[in-house]
Amino acid sequence: MHQTSADRALAAVGGWLRADRLPFFSALLFGLLAHGFQLLNKIPVDDDLPNMWNKGATTVSGRYGLELLRLVMPDVSMPWLWGLLSLLFLALAVCLVVRLFSIESRALQLLLAGVFVCFPAETGTLAYMFTAAPYALALLLTVLGVSVFAAGRRGRWLLAPLLLAFSCSVYQGYFAFAASFCVILMVRRLAEGGDARTVLSEGLRLLGMLLLSLAVYGLAILTASRLLGLPLLDEAVNSRQSLPLRAAVAYSAWLKTLFKGYFAYVPSLPALLCHLLLIGCAGAALVLRVKGRPLPDLLLLGLCLFLFPLSCYCLYLLADNGYIHSLALYPFASLYVLCAVLLDGDGPRFALPLRRLSSLALALILFGQVVFANAFTLRAKLQYEQTRAMYTAILAQVFDTEGFDEHSRLALIGDAPAARTELDGTFPFAQFQLPGVNITDPLQAEPLIRNYLGCDIPFADEAECAALADDAELAAMPVWPYAGSVKKLGDLIVVKLSSGEGRA
């Protein structure tokens, strides 16, 4: 019977689902378990508040691919649609990771899919729903680019750099995934018996591919900026520190992420102990594998392991420290991939107990990440509801203020009282460094009032608010919410939020 192209396509999809169904559906299931609350509610967090109808900084940040994706991903911050699409892209990326490193253990496939999707950086990324799906696509393209090159197929020197360059043009931070995966590929080859000369040759080709990808991306930025008359990324590029100092900062940040709770990836002592147990089991498995190997092989292996933290945090080599935050350092999750690679496969008689013990550690890490994701979303929801309630009450007082009319403009003076929750003392959210301005900041008042309270009352500008600094009547006003804290002064309806200066 003649088989049509549609039949062949369906057969290929069916074969892929049979081969990769465990990591694929595990990623979706754990993703919904960790992020379902966020997907089923519209909870504005930081930059998502003013960017409901756009994708934020695109070309000015060198993200020309993000600008192009507007053609297929409209500028509407929709949690359910973009959230599910993000999980789908991440699930496909996990399947590629499993294939790239030939991870055969079913337990490791399941758990690796979970920690990849539930990692705190992804929790934060999904809070910025206006770019969540494009960023997940960028991660998928990064893994695909490395996979294409590692497969050694014809045209890889063209396709892989193009995929990685386009991924960088959507979000530059995920380039570190490509760098760390290249290092893991070398570690895997050495652990499986590859000789130093062959692996080093392969590593140089991988490095060449990475550098070519950066060159393609840089050329694209240069060309587009010249054609569109946009500035280059001078402020974002780290040009003030020497390369050795940047490398030292990268190593320091990676170690502090693991041991000091930086970026809230390892947020507690139990989490640290689980990570150390996982790393210890992976290290023991590696020692058992390479015992008795020639010295050149061991030296190259040691060099790869030494370079691994730098590859995960290579963004420090490129970007100014002020532009690096918790979402940008998602490649720390490559640590779980490295451990899974070292623990997988047949080995000495101690390999199975080590794998079981490490699986327990990874399962506990995953549980902690799921709890963190839900706690973060709960805190974000409480902050939003408390801040919205505050501005609802303020608007009610503004509307009742004597002299309020259609020409009135609103001036919020001072800092709004930040929303407080008991969760602040339970989870290290202060370490979870997010880009943008927190919703409790008065700078977010205008988009919140306009987008979520449906009021388009005009706001006073900074100069007008600054002119009130020496106003005696303002100085005599009590702080909100007490009587007299909302008053008309000249053409402005003034709300005194605190005794400090500032405006929303």
Cα gap 172→134, rounded to integer Å:
12
- For residues 85 and 198, state if they share a domain: yes
Measured N-to-C along each axis, helices 156-170 and 175-191 cross at an angle, to the nearest 10 degrees, of 140
- For residues 369 and 382, state if they share a domain: no
- For residues 255 and 339, state if they share a domain: yes
Measured N-to-C along each axis, helices 295-312 and 196-228 cross at an angle, to the nearest 10 degrees, of 20
For residue 11, being part of any structural domain is answered with no
- For residues 287 and 242, state if they share a domain: yes
b/e code 87-99 from CB counts within 10 Å (16+ = b): bbbbbbbbbbbbb
Cα gap 321→245, rounded to integer Å:
12
Cα gap 38→428, rounded to integer Å:
19
Residue count of the chain = 504
For 55, 223, 225, 322, 468, the CA distances from 229, given in Å and listed in that order, are 20, 10, 5, 25, 39
Cα gap 304→187, rounded to integer Å:
6
Phi, psi of 320 (to 5 degrees): -65, 145
Contact between 63 and 57 (Cβ < 8 Å): yes
Contact between 53 and 75 (Cβ < 8 Å): yes
Contact between 343 and 358 (Cβ < 8 Å): yes
Tokens 């060449």, residue located: 208
Per the structure, the count of domains in the chain is 2
Segment 74-89, tens digit of pLDDT: 999 999 999 999 999 9
With the C-alpha atoms ordered 432, 420, 77, 114, is the resulting torsion angle positive or negative? positive
pLDDT < 50 regions, the chain: 502-504
- Which pLDDT value is given to residue 504? 47
Measured N-to-C along each axis, helices 351-399 and 120-127 cross at an angle, to the nearest 10 degrees, of 30
- Which pLDDT value is given to residue 17? 65
- For residues 59 and 101, state if they share a domain: yes
Of the three residues 356, 373, 390, the one that is the final residue of a domain is 373
Of the three residues 352, 373, 394, the one that is the final residue of a domain is 373
Segment 376-420, tens digit of pLDDT: 999 999 999 999 999 999 999 999 998 888 888 999 988 877 666
Contact between 145 and 167 (Cβ < 8 Å): yes
Tokens of 447: 């988009």
Helix %, strand %, coil % for the chain, to 5? 65, 5, 30
For residue 54, being part of any structural domain is answered with yes
For residue 504, being part of any structural domain is answered with no
- Which pLDDT value is given to residue 426? 73
For residue 17, being part of any structural domain is answered with no
- Which pLDDT value is given to residue 257? 97
Three-state secondary structure string covering 296-363: HHHHHHHHHHHHHHHHHCCHHHHECHHHCCCCCCHHHHHHHHHHHHHHCCCCCCCHHHHHHHHHHHHH
For residue 236, being part of any structural domain is answered with yes
For residue 9, being part of any structural domain is answered with no
Tokens 């006073």, residue located: 460
Q: Which amino acid is at 232?
A: L
3-class secondary structure, 217: helix
- Which pLDDT value is given to residue 228? 78
Q: Which of 343, 345, 370, 371 is nearest to 358 (CA)?
A: 343
Q: Which of 35, 140, 131, 28 is nearest to 82 (CA)?
A: 131
- For residues 472 and 425, state if they share a domain: yes
3-class secondary structure, 442: helix
- For residues 352 and 409, state if they share a domain: no
Tokens of 430: 């202060």
3-class secondary structure, 324: coil
Q: Which residues contact 264 (CB under 8 A, 6 or more apart)?
A: 120, 326, 372, 427, 428, 429, 431, 432
For residue 14, being part of any structural domain is answered with no
Tokens 């074969």, residue located: 15
For residue 1, being part of any structural domain is answered with no
Cα gap 274→291, rounded to integer Å:
26
CB atoms under 10 Å from CB of 67, counted, come to 19
Contact between 310 and 248 (Cβ < 8 Å): no
Please tell me the pTM assigned to this model.
0.92
- For residues 388 and 354, state if they share a domain: no
- For residues 251 and 154, state if they share a domain: yes
Cα gap 345→352, rounded to integer Å:
9
- For residues 202 and 345, state if they share a domain: yes
- For residues 365 and 390, state if they share a domain: no
Q: Residue 122 sits in which domain range? A: 34-373
- CA angle 277–278–279, rounded 5-degree value: 90
- Which pLDDT value is given to residue 97? 97
Contact between 490 and 430 (Cβ < 8 Å): no
Of the three residues 350, 373, 396, the one that is the final residue of a domain is 373
- For residues 389 and 366, state if they share a domain: no
Q: List, in sequence order, every residue forming a beta bridge with 319; answer none if it has no partner.
A: 237
Q: Which of 438, 381, 480, 401 is nearest to 40 (CA)?
A: 381
- Which pLDDT value is given to residue 325? 92
Cα gap 345→354, rounded to integer Å:
12
